[in-house]
Structures are given as structure tokens and as C-alpha cells.
Amino acid sequence: MSDHDRAARWDAAFGATPDRVARSTPGNPLDAWLAAVALGGRGWYAAAAFHLGLLISGSDPVIAALASATRASHLRQVGGHALARPFDSAGLRRLAESDLLGPDGIDGDHPDRPGPQAADAAAARSDVLLGLAADALGQGRTAEARRLFGIESASVNAGWRAVVRRGWVAAEIELGAGRVDAAVAPAEAAAAAAQATGSVRHQIKSSLVLGASLAAVGERPSAQELIFGAHADATRLGLWPLVWPCALVLADVDPEHADAHRRAAARALHGVLRHSDPIARAAAAASPWVPTWLFSGWSD
């Protein structure tokens, strides 16, 4: 694969063009992972799961861990926190079995395995630990989520994705614990960190997390501005896994148009489910995090 093709895949996964998913077959494990990330960003979970399944069982422990964390993330995005946990755990186990976890988090004796920033062993460790924290939080285990978050955040040099995702998870932990005032600062930090990157998808999600945090403390005008912007950008780019939660939040912060926002959320979720594998669809249907009315009128 040419450098241009790799750059295009990276840009679709973590850059300015998340709406331009490459159609060619990935040439190596890193490219396959980038393709799966980009596919998941559009809500094409079945196609992403195909690539991720091969990578999870592959020989490269870093890519396997990254793929496991990505699969877990896709399941969480449809409310499948319990199903996500084994994938995050498997990713952490692959790193440990390959001596890529040391007393300080990452064994530095593997200069042959650094990988690109945001896709190296340190990034993989961060992904699976933050994923496990989010899995625990989604199952109501806030204390466990805090412990896992503390373990991950003690690491340094895990890349820009880790910095942004720490802000998301920290805000979500505080919201889950009912400490809504404490959620705003990490959400603001995530939004600031995301703006310093070229990842449009991370910027949109950071606006969603910050908007939800501001709404929780009663800052409705600021929350509306952020969520309306995030919803518009996600819709324009076809990032349907972000469209439907944005629309759900809008139903709360813009109650005069709540019915319209709920219809938009249902349409977006239905689009995601049509492109999802059976495991993801079942996770959404069984999840307490996905309102049952969103499934009205939807079928396989």
C-alpha cells in the first residue's frame, strides 16, 4: 500500500475526512485496523467487525489489542457494555502475554514495536484500560471505573487519543456518580485537546460530551449551541453513531422540538442497526442505555 493510501485511511479514521471511507481491501494489519475504525465511525459495524475479528486473532499483539478495544467501543456505542468487557479484557491480556505491560505500564524494551503515535503499544494499553473503565461504568460499577481510570491515567505518552478519551471517560464517570459539577472540567479539557488535533470525529464527540455535561448543570443555552453544532456536523459527515445520541440530548435541551429530535434519533439509530452485525443489534435491543421507543417501527 502506498504512503498516500495509508494517509487517506488515517485521515478517514482520525483526521479531517471521516466521511471518506476507503473501499479498497486493506493491505496489512495497521491498514485493516484503520479501515475498521473509519467504518465504525460511520456506523457500519458489520463491515468493521469482519476486519476486527481477523485482527483480534492475528499475530501482532498491539494491533490485536487495538482491534479488541475498537470492537468493544462499537458495542458500547449501542449500549453493549457487558459484551464489550471481554474484548477489552482480551486486548489487555494480549499485551501482557507479549511482555508489553511492565511495572510502569509499558515495557520500553521494544523499540521494534513503537508504531505510529496513537497506534502503538502505549495507545493500545490506554484504549483497553479506558474501555474497561467505560464498560464498568455502563454496568453501574462506578468505583471500579474510577480505579481503572486511575491506573490508565498514571501512564504518560500514550498519544493524543488517550488525552481526549481520558476527558470523555472522566466526565462520564462524574455524570454516572451524580457529581455533575465535576464533569464539566474534564469535558472541557477533552474538547480543548480535540480541537488541537485534526480529528473531526473526536471534536464532534467532545462537543457532545461537553454539551451533555453543561446540560446536566443547567447551562442550557451553552449546551444547545454545542449539541446543535455537533449534531449538524455528524449528520453532514454521516457519522450516525454520533447523530442519534446528539439528537437524544437535543430532545432534553430543546424540549419545544423534542418530538422532531426523537424522530431524528430513531432514524439515525435504525440506519446504524441496518449496518450492524447480529451481536451489535442484540446489544442495542437489550441495553438499558438505548430507549425502547427508538426501536418503534424497526425490524431486520
Residue 237 within any structural domain of the chain: yes
Closest CA to 211 of 193, 223, 229, 201: 223
CA angle 274, 276, 279 (to 5 degrees): 130
288: CATH:
1.25.40.10
Residue 241 within any structural domain of the chain: yes
CB 230 within 8 A of CB 207: yes
- What pLDDT band is residue 110 in, cutting at 50, 70 and 90? very low
| Percent of the chain at pLDDT exceeding 70 | 91
CB 61 within 8 A of CB 95: yes
CB 72 within 8 A of CB 53: no
Grid cell at residue 247: 439528537
Q: Residue 2: its pLDDT value, please?
A: 62
Total domains in the chain come to 1
CB 200 within 8 A of CB 235: no
Structural domain boundaries, residue 134: 28-107+114-295
Cα–Cα dist 23/240, whole Å: 19
Q: Residue 296: its pLDDT value, please?
A: 67
25-50 pLDDT, tens digit each: 777 899 999 999 999 999 999 999 99
Q: Residue 156: its pLDDT value, please?
A: 73
Residue 14 within any structural domain of the chain: no
> 61-65, 101-105, 190-194 — which is least confidently predicted?
101-105
Residue 9 within any structural domain of the chain: no
Residue 130 within any structural domain of the chain: yes
- How far apart, in Å, are the Cα atoms of 295 and each of 205, 207, 278, 298? 23, 26, 15, 5
Sequence-distant (6+) residues with CB within 8 A of 91 are 64, 65, 66, 67, 68, 69, 72, 124, 127, 128, 131
Grid cell at residue 253: 435541551
Residue 271 within any structural domain of the chain: yes
10-27 pLDDT, tens digit each: 999 999 999 997 766 777
Residue 289 is classified by DSSP as T
CB 129 within 8 A of CB 151: yes
CB 246 within 8 A of CB 208: yes
204-238 pLDDT, tens digit each: 999 999 999 999 999 999 999 999 999 999 999 99
46-79 pLDDT, tens digit each: 999 999 999 999 999 999 999 999 999 999 999 9
The reported pTM is 0.93
Q: Residue 118: its pLDDT value, please?
A: 67
**Residue 127, pLDDT above cutoff 70:** yes
Residue 127 within any structural domain of the chain: yes
Residue 5 within any structural domain of the chain: no
